Amino acid sequence: MIKRLAKISAGLLLVVSVTSCVHLKEYQKSRLNDSEMALTNRKVEKNELNFQSYREAASGANAGKTGGGCGCN
Partner 1 sequence: MKRKFLSVLGFALICRFHGYAQVKTDTTAKKQQVYKSLYTPGTQPGYDTSDYRPRRLRIDEIDLVSSYYNQTGDHSAVTGGLGTEQVTDFSNGLNLNLLWYNPAMNKNTLSVGLGYDHHSSASSKFVAQDGQGKPGGTRIYPSLDWTVENSKTGNSFGIGLYYSGEYNYKSKGLDLHWSAKTFNKTGEFGVKLQGYFDKVTLIYPSEFIPPPVVPVGTIVITSASGVTRIVDANGNTISSSKNSLPTSPRTTLSASFSYSQQLTPRLQVMLLGDVVTQSGYLGLPFHRVVFPEQKTSGIDTAERIEKLPSSRFKLPIGLRANYFIGDNIILRAYYRYYMDNWGTRSNTASLEIPYKITPFFSVSPFYRYYDQSAAKYFAPYDQHSLNDQYYTSNYEYAKFRSGFYGVGFRIVPPAGVFGWQNFHELEIRYGHYTQTTNLVSDVLSVSLGFK
Is residue 40 classed exposed, middle or buried when 0-12, 13-18 and 19+ CB atoms within 10 A define those classes?
A: exposed
CB of 64 to partner 1, least distance (A): 9
Least distance to partner 1 from the beta carbon of 57, Å?
Answer: 4
The residue type of 52 is Q
Which stretches of the chain bind partner 1, using CB under 8 A? 1, 4-5, 8, 12, 15-16, 19-20, 22-24, 28-32, 34-39, 42-48, 50-52, 54-63, 65-71, 73
- Residue 19 CB, shortest distance to partner 1, in Å, is 4
1-32 core/surface letters (b: 16 or more CB in 10 A; e: else): eeeeeeeeeeeeeeeeeeeeeeeeeeeeeeee
